[in-house]
């Protein structure tokens, strides 16, 4: 019997018959709070589409809660603790300077236009220069631009309103932007945003959109929002799958995933724009003061932020081997054209 089985196996090999590829289950970690649109509006739908198009050969599992702090997602994947994750690009400022382009202050449009523009510029100028060790980049997702929030009874109308104030910011460009205003960027550590806002220490925030205010449940702490053209900055995320799990997926299914990723994935950021629009309406109904930055404040912000960030990014891009001038120009053009087409 064993001889017959072995002969059948050898015959199959001789005829070039290969065993069917095994189904692949991907443990994908999510580090944002469960109610964030990146989870249920973007990643959920992207993953569901992959599962459908691959007819279940590729599936995703989501942990009940994040398996590691937001800043440690790459280490989590490298250790085998997860097969995939999204990473806030601000945490990658030192290792991935090129993709910080969308994080520079007052340069972005909507979440959708920012994500799509970043992907297009990446493909045109950076694809050979950006490498995530041990991981495959599926694409970028963007959030709506963040704005300036006051946590006191005084709105933020003048550059002097930031002097010496403890301000909530995220890592990278947002923290640098706060320092340029004379503010003190405050690291909330492992505390929740809600707890940090509720302890009475913070006086302003530069790293939140209206959606964030509702998602993180800090509505009772904010009094006003000052809108800056182009936003304070636009949070973007890199969507990654580990090489370990990627290499288990058949070439045919890899092609399917690639088709559903890249610009198609970036386009899903439009769902976040819709949530932001609805969130701003709700905040107005709840009597949150939403105002546009006065021209003098806008000019002062541009003077402190724009040139410094642009020059710094171009220098780092050139050092990395990219045409920084052309890439920055292309990014602005893409933002404008995508906005017109949307």
What pLDDT, in 10s, does the model give residues 225-236?
Answer: 999 999 999 999
Q: What is the DSSP letter of 157?
A: -
Bridge partners of residue 184, in order along the sequence: 166
Task: Look at the chain and count its residues.
Answer: 342
Which of 68-72, 111-115, 192-196, 218-222 has the least mean pLDDT?
192-196
Quote the pLDDT of residue 190. 66
Mean pLDDT estimate for the chain: 91
Provide the CATH number for the domain around residue 265: 3.40.190.170
Assigned domain for 292 exists: no
In a domain, 284, yes or no: no
Cβ 117 vs Cβ 236: under 8 Å = no
Higher pLDDT, 102 or 29: 29
When pLDDT is cut at 50, 70 and 90, the band that residue 29 belongs to is very high
Question: Which pLDDT score is estimated for 199?
Answer: 83
In a domain, 66, yes or no: yes
Higher model confidence: residue 52 or residue 186? 52
pLDDT at 82: 99
- Between vectors from CA 254 to CA 242 and to CA 13, what angle results, nearest 5°? 105
Question: What is the separation of C-alpha 88 from the centre of its chain, rounded to a whole number of angstroms?
Answer: 5
Per-residue pLDDT tens for 119-169?
999 999 999 999 999 999 999 999 999 999 999 999 999 999 999 999 999
Per-residue model confidence as pLDDT tens digits over 243-273: 999 999 999 999 999 999 999 999 999 999 9
User: For residue 286, is it within any domain?
Assistant: no
Instruction: Specify if 206 maps to a domain.
Output: no
Residue 69 has pLDDT above 80, yes or no: yes
Q: How far apart are CA 230 and CA 144, in angstroms?
A: 10
Q: What is the dihedral of CA 213, 237, 169, 125, to 10 degrees?
A: -140
Mean pLDDT calculated for residue range 312-336? 95
Hey, which residues does 186 pair with through a beta bridge?
168
What is the per-residue pLDDT for 173?
82
Is the separation of the CB atoms in 251 and 257 below 8 Å?
no
> How many Cβ atoms are within 10 Å of 18's Cβ, its own excluded?
7
pLDDT band at 22 (very low <50, low <70, confident <90, very high): confident
153 falls within a domain: no
Token digits of residue 279: 């969130």
Q: Does residue 55 form part of some domain?
A: yes
Instruction: Give the CA distances from residue 69 to residues 196, 286, 337, in Å, rounded to whole numbers and listed in that order.
Output: 16, 32, 36
Strands (E), 42-170: 58-61, 84-88, 135-142, 147-150, 166-168
Domain count for the chain: 1
30 lies in which domain range? 22-143+235-275
Are residues 243 and 135 in contact, defined by beta-carbon separation less than 8 angstroms? yes
DSSP letters along 265-332, please? HHHTTHHHHHHHHHHHHHHHHTT-EEEEPPHHHHHHHIIIIIHHHHHHHHHHHHHTTS-HHHHHHHHH
The whole-number average pLDDT for the span 203-228 is: 95
Phi then psi dihedrals of residue 141, to 5 deg: -125, 140
Question: What mean pLDDT is predicted for residues 273-291?
Answer: 97
Residue 228 located in a structural domain = no
Whether the per-residue pLDDT at 21 is higher than 90: the answer is: no
Mean pLDDT of 90-118: 93
């Amino acid at each position: 019997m064993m001889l017959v089985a072995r002969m059948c196996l050898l015959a199959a090999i001789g005829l070039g018959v290969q065993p069917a590829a095994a189904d692949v289950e991907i443990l994908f970690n999510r580090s944002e709070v469960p109610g964030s649109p990146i989870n249920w509006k973007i990643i959920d739908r992207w993953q569901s589409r992959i599962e459908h198009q691959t007819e279940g050969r590729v599936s995703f599992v989501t942990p009940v809660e994040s398996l590691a702090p937001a800043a440690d997602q790459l280490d989590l994947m490298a250790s085998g603790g997860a097969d995939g994750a999204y990473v806030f690009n601000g945490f990658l400022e030192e290792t991935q300077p090129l993709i910080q382009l969308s994080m520079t202050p007052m340069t972005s449009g909507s979440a959708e236009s920012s994500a799509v523009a970043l992907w297009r510029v990446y493909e045109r100028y950076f694809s050979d220069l950006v490498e995530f060790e041990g991981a495959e980049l599926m694409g970028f997702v963007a959030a709506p631009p963040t704005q300036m929030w006051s946590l006191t009874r005084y709105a933020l109308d003048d550059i002097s309103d930031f002097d010496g104030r403890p301000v909530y910011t995220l890592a990278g460009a947002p923290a640098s932007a706060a320092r340029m205003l004379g503010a003190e960027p405050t690291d909330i550590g492992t505390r929740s945003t809600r707890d940090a806002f509720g302890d009475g220490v913070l006086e302003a925030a530069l790293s939140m959109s209206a959606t964030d205010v509702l998602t993180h449940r800090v509505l009772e702490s904010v009094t006003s929002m000052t809108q800056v053209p182009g936003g304070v900055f636009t949070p973007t995320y890199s969507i990654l799958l580990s090489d370990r799990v990627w290499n288990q997926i058949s070439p045919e299914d890899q092609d399917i995933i690639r088709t559903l990723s890249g610009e198609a994935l970036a386009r899903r950021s439009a769902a976040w724009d819709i949530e932001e629009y609805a969130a701003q309406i709700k905040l107005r109904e709840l009597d949150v003061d939403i105002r546009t930055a006065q021209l003098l404040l806008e000019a002062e912000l541009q003077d402190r932020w724009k040139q410094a960030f642009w020059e710094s990014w171009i220098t780092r891009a050139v050092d990395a081997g990219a045409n920084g001038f052309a890439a920055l120009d292309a990014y602005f053009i893409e933002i404008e054209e995508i906005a017109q087409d949307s």
